[in-house]
Structure 1
């Protein structure tokens, strides 16, 4: 670093270690967690215990003594706070006032304790009874056109309430069932399914014991799924080489100290995780992977010329794939300088990654939202699959494709029917089991919900958890329209920004967290969820509920459905299902017999039960009946190219954050703390723009005049502080959701409509004082 350049922020420690323990302790004090929280952590992610409400990483058959990570512990401690947000609090504050507080301050108020009804005349929420809430909401829903109402699910709700929620929506009369997958991994569900026939990953936990190389793209395990670091550490120690593609040099992919290893915690050295770190520009993974494919194909040609063994797995390709010729033609037509420009890497870097791939026996591809939240993210997934298919690295032990999910049950919600697509809903089983004829029109995704909201067509919203209004793009327009809905209903544990934008009639229905005891007529209840590896687990905890007035998500869904539908569908047994969740699981098993047979008997098996994956067995449920090579139409996954003065901005989560939940203001693993209104910028770019560290800037979305997403709106955030950081040229980074106002609603992934929040085109200007 030259003397005249700002010094980039960084963290000199490793991921995990004492820093992780300090982070947990700090949040424990801040959250004022109940003394019993330690007992919950003891059984967290263990057979017969409580399954973490944070990420969807697998729960092992043979758990560690402490089977939770820093972020999982923070989520549990945050849930089990001793603070309470009672109706008396709302007597002192209007919603217009609370809307300005921000999510951290709102959630710090503690757990909601009683149902609340919004009084528009006073602009305040007021205490209500459950009977009043259910009756009023049901009566209002009956007056509304069903297709004008959206039922959203956040991704945390367990399989039991999720199954009933989807059933309720369709009995009510719509398929408007977007969930948080629309905001993050819907690109996987669409893009991966297109090329291998599976909407979810093909890998299992034991594959990590046999993998020789991992290509790791656009995911930060240190913050988003720290428990995977144990698995990566073991793989590296066994000799696995991990090739990382990411614009930021994240500590979670560089060094790790295992907090459960006393030797490493004291006198040992950190484990180096990455074998090679490829610092791609936003959207550059697509060209980088194409460069690796180019190297592999060239090496195969040279092997043929030398009459040596082929590099490509020709037997697998001939039997199981289609489309290789078009890919080879595209690769050969694309020059290395084009790939270097689009990826931000050198030819040498791509060739070295290719050399690792060629020499590895078994290769796995792992990715996160750094891939899925781009305009052409599905093409990047296609290119990753291309690379794996070249050497038969799908459908055998130690190899495969493994997207890492965020919310703890977001994959499971899709599995049991929360989908806007009629073709994915179990409509025949609904008819067989419940005499229910469901709507035949597709519902809307989250983006389509927001479009309907802005046009005035969507008039009602029921939210099963989440903070959707703050998680979505285009805050200014969306928030203004949100408050004009006729009805907003929120099933929630804590207050957040979305609740503070009430519709004309609005309700907050407080629920138990997963870590609390759920007693119903038949006794203490189990719930279940699905991890990223398609395993199903039971979960139960014995913590005392935060209030005697709380209901479970299952009981709330059943109460709303019964009040809305009445006796219109005699086979929908809402009371029976509330009394005993095992009966709900019987329905799930009857609806999906191939995957969920004997669910009640199997869900508490150590390691959960596996619901299967056809692509893992090399059965390809694609249009062609084979795994499909694809040739990309673009070289960079961002939807808008380079221009003088244009940057591409990636939104991120901090180390003290899970989605819109902010636990604190430390982003330890990046060497940052305090203000979240920042823009990270390459020091050389700062100098070129005439910025010094801590200068305040305005960030404005930069859409070309002829771009489809350009609606003439100006999208700008002001007064963000410039922070020097190690980034590729022309790249900016900052926090979600503070930078969400910059994402145009129409700037989304081409197939899935997932907001393209990892490559927003923007310009910078100094904030005027």
Structure 2
């Protein structure tokens, strides 16, 4: 595969300008020009993004306001839109010119850059090429192959972009067929949240809405690069800072979005010579994986302040009334925190006692606090404990279930949270089994299905024979890239439902198909009527999405239509699901979702078009704790060690943190620049602490190899990278996802949640010997 560079001499220079501002506008104009989209039609399309009566962004899942700004999109969201409505076409002629072996040498960027897929295709091994196939023939062949396979050997994956309607149909198709193997994007990012939060507060999702952000008087940020992964949230952070609310950030790397921001929505701010709003009142670069230790230190400081207040006869710092009425396990939590040693807290967090005590003082004075976090907490071996410790910090001061306060997991892809809500899960306890069986006259398989890690294990050991993907680039997003790619080709069936070409399409199994689908922005006409779909955002609000651009090809089918046709070809007569009726009128799918999940989707069709959407029934938001005790739980971590079963004490072992650039979203790479980190022209780079580099005899732009440290007999190596000094804690280093997924052992994941521990991969770095 070609190296992810577009120049022989990449540059890496400090970027000290604010996020947003003219830099975002310039980047957006350049991307528009590259796609041939500098037209009024494009800007009219963007004007409808994230608005009632418009379409929901296909990029991040941040909330959509009822009262939107004039331009309710960010730089990355606009890039995602341009990437989808590109005039470029990856058509029959393209596949006639290129073999799959040739395309395997292309980069991820160059594959997607070819434009929209236009026609259904089947791989011909004799030609080593994809050739066109009629839709009805493709459905018949895939159905026949599925019916000749053990359903338990087939995986039905869903990308985070699929609508609620398509997702609900997809999981019914899989279960009627006989498979609960329904991994999704959540398995790779926020499954630690989905496991951790229900145990703590009885809700699998966050408790806050945009109204809470308007009312809060303090925010925490743990492990989230907001300027790249949810830039529209910066507007709410900026507004909070302007009204004097402290924002305290904990992250190993200094990320520009939570340092300085200029809003492109404000002309006077854009024209001002100042450096924009200071976004974090305090920014602490803790060690990678040092979050539990840091939060323990903050809690320890709060207990000390409460002791002092009690002794002086002043109001308590702890919310003792809330704890007594609503919480369970406080005494054990208090003992854990009080017994924690400051020396160990400082060693494991990489922060000083005075910094954590300062944070405790600021926190103790706030009345309405929101704690935001991302994959910097979830993608660790102790990802669940990270999430639960942050909940503990909020519970001790009653910052849950009241206006302006609560927990805010910032999800990634635009509907990744919603898919779980409507049944995309391998866990039977999360779906209404009896309702499905009664409604549709079939028996749900009773075995737990495979999640992402278990699906990968099945691919490697040969027990997974078929993989049907509703979107995504699965093989690039998961660990053990090299081993997965090799084993993938041994499967019997590989079906990819997609808008653009990616590397996973090129891993030809015995039978391989590409089924091109409509994008969310495109007009979806069924039975002569334009259809509407729905998505759920990070704040558990449900929104309508109206596609209005013309389809990239007349041959494209919608995701619900493809799902229905596959189901009819495979499981016709095995249930009473009215596939054709649902495809002819998506409102009937929404009626079915409401019938299965009445608490969350009451009056679904009447409410989802409302500006701002409607909020799901989240009990913890109302101090209703749907846990086994009926209370919120203080839960205690086992300890502070980020890699509890790997020896990382050697000074030549570093913790690798995988990151994304501001020129990508998930596995979609829009270009080779990372403007907000000052990286230009390459993704083949490792960022290291200067003192660590000096100790290893390295200087900027030296060529290095990176190898995973693991005693399992498997060699995992990334070769010929550049190294560059960076402001990062000693012992840590950083590089780009998905290229470095090859270094992550499949077993190196969150215990119980199985999220790949991509933020703490133990590696060795060696200088390459010149030839």
TM value normalised by structure 1: 0.97
Name the SS of the counterpart of 2:130 in structure 1: strand
Distance 2:618 2:574 in 1: 37
Decide which of 266, 285, 292 is 2:291's aligned counterpart.
285
Name the SS of the counterpart of 2:671 in structure 1: coil
Q: Which residue of 1 aligns with 2:572?
A: 566
The answer as to whether partners of 2:66 and 2:611 remain within 8 angstroms in 1 is yes
Distance 1:582 1:52 in 2: 21
Name the SS of the counterpart of 2:720 in structure 1: strand
Can you give the 5+ residue segments of structure 2 that lack an aligned partner in the other structure? Answer: 1-10
Q: Which residue of 2 aligns with 1:148?
A: 153
Q: Which residue of 2 aligns with 1:3?
A: none
Q: Which residue of 2 aligns with 1:728?
A: 729
Q: Given the alignment of the two structures, is residue 738 of structure 1 paired with residue 739 of structure 2, yes or no?
A: yes
Name the SS of the counterpart of 2:413 in structure 1: coil
- CA shift, 1:268, in A, is 5.3
Q: Which residue of 2 aligns with 1:103?
A: 108
- CA shift, 1:9, in A, is 4.0
- CA shift, 1:34, in A, is 7.7
Q: Which residue of 2 aligns with 1:128?
A: 133
Distance 1:34 1:489 in 2: 35
Distance 1:27 1:503 in 2: 35
Decide which of 685, 696, 714 is 2:692's aligned counterpart.
685
Q: Which residue of 2 aligns with 1:92?
A: 97
Q: Which residue of 2 aligns with 1:717?
A: 718
- CA shift, 1:194, in A, is 1.1
Name the SS of the counterpart of 1:666 in structure 2: coil
The answer as to whether partners of 2:673 and 2:682 remain within 8 angstroms in 1 is no
Residues 693-733 of structure 1: per-residue CA shift (max 9 Å, x gap): 00011101112x4xxxxx21011111010011100011100
Name the SS of the counterpart of 1:739 in structure 2: helix
- CA shift, 1:522, in A, is 4.4
Name the SS of the counterpart of 1:358 in structure 2: helix
Residues 601-621 of structure 1: per-residue CA shift (max 9 Å, x gap): 111001101112001111111
- CA shift, 1:326, in A, is 1.3
The answer as to whether partners of 1:34 and 1:80 remain within 8 angstroms in 2 is no
Residues 472-492 of structure 1: per-residue CA shift (max 9 Å, x gap): 100111111001110000000
Distance 1:149 1:309 in 2: 60
Distance 1:304 1:339 in 2: 25
Residues 370-415 of structure 1: per-residue CA shift (max 9 Å, x gap): 1100000111111111110111000111100000011000000000
1:590-609 matches, cutoff 5 A: 590-609=595-614
Q: Given the alignment of the two structures, is residue 263 of structure 1 paired with residue 248 of structure 2, yes or no?
A: no
Q: Which residue of 1 aligns with 2:559?
A: 553
Q: Given the alignment of the two structures, is residue 497 of structure 1 paired with residue 503 of structure 2, yes or no?
A: yes
Decide which of 13, 24, 30 is 1:20's aligned counterpart.
24
- CA shift, 1:306, in A, is 2.2
Name the SS of the counterpart of 2:239 in structure 1: helix
Q: Which residue of 1 aligns with 2:758?
A: 757
1:377-392 matches, cutoff 5 A: 377-392=383-398
1:269-668 matches, cutoff 5 A: 269=274, 270-569=276-575, 571-639=576-644, 640=646, 641-668=648-675
- CA shift, 1:330, in A, is 1.5
Range that drifts further, 134-143 or 634-643? 634-643
Decide which of 220, 223, 238 is 1:215's aligned counterpart.
220
The answer as to whether partners of 1:528 and 1:603 remain within 8 angstroms in 2 is yes
The answer as to whether partners of 2:59 and 2:414 remain within 8 angstroms in 1 is yes
Decide which of 58, 71, 76 is 2:76's aligned counterpart.
71
Name the SS of the counterpart of 1:81 in structure 2: coil
Distance 1:268 1:638 in 2: 46
Q: 1:9 to 1:332 in 2, by over 3 A?
A: farther
- CA shift, 1:257, in A, is 0.2
- CA shift, 1:541, in A, is 2.1
Q: Which residue of 1 aligns with 2:258?
A: 253
Name the SS of the counterpart of 1:263 in structure 2: helix
Residues 457-477 of structure 1: per-residue CA shift (max 9 Å, x gap): 000000000001011100111
Q: Which residue of 2 aligns with 1:229?
A: 234
Distance 1:181 1:100 in 2: 29
The answer as to whether partners of 1:461 and 1:488 remain within 8 angstroms in 2 is yes
Q: Which structure 1 residue ranges, 4+ long, deviate > 6 Å from structure 2?
A: none
Q: Given the alignment of the two structures, is residue 198 of structure 1 paired with residue 203 of structure 2, yes or no?
A: yes
Q: Which residue of 2 aligns with 1:49?
A: 54
Residues 347-370 of structure 1: per-residue CA shift (max 9 Å, x gap): 111111111101111111100001
Residues 99-125 of structure 1: per-residue CA shift (max 9 Å, x gap): 120210001111110000011222111
Q: Given the alignment of the two structures, is residue 185 of structure 1 paired with residue 190 of structure 2, yes or no?
A: yes
Distance 1:78 1:631 in 2: 44
The answer as to whether partners of 1:282 and 1:638 remain within 8 angstroms in 2 is no
Residues 709-758 of structure 1: per-residue CA shift (max 9 Å, x gap): xx210111110100111000111000001111100000000120000000
The answer as to whether partners of 1:40 and 1:541 remain within 8 angstroms in 2 is no
- CA shift, 1:163, in A, is 0.3
Q: Which residue of 1 aligns with 2:3?
A: none
Distance 1:170 1:384 in 2: 36
- CA shift, 1:212, in A, is 1.4
Distance 2:298 2:315 in 1: 19
The answer as to whether partners of 1:285 and 1:636 remain within 8 angstroms in 2 is no
Distance 2:230 2:314 in 1: 42
Distance 2:735 2:205 in 1: 29
Residues 414-435 of structure 1: per-residue CA shift (max 9 Å, x gap): 0000000011112121122112
Q: Which residue of 1 aligns with 2:175?
A: 170
Distance 1:603 1:309 in 2: 44
Distance 1:275 1:256 in 2: 13
Distance 1:423 1:351 in 2: 42
Distance 1:623 1:635 in 2: 27
The answer as to whether partners of 2:12 and 2:678 remain within 8 angstroms in 1 is no
Name the SS of the counterpart of 2:704 in structure 1: strand
Name the SS of the counterpart of 2:739 in structure 1: coil
Distance 2:641 2:18 in 1: 32
Distance 2:153 2:628 in 1: 33
CA RMSD of aligned residues (A): 1.2
Distance 1:745 1:185 in 2: 17
Distance 1:349 1:259 in 2: 33
The answer as to whether partners of 1:8 and 1:725 remain within 8 angstroms in 2 is no
Residues 309-335 of structure 1: per-residue CA shift (max 9 Å, x gap): 211111100111111111121112211
The answer as to whether partners of 1:236 and 1:242 remain within 8 angstroms in 2 is yes
- CA shift, 1:37, in A, is 2.4
- CA shift, 1:8, in A, is 8.2
Distance 1:430 1:669 in 2: 48
Q: Which residue of 2 aligns with 1:708?
A: none
- CA shift, 1:12, in A, is 1.5
The answer as to whether partners of 2:442 and 2:574 remain within 8 angstroms in 1 is no
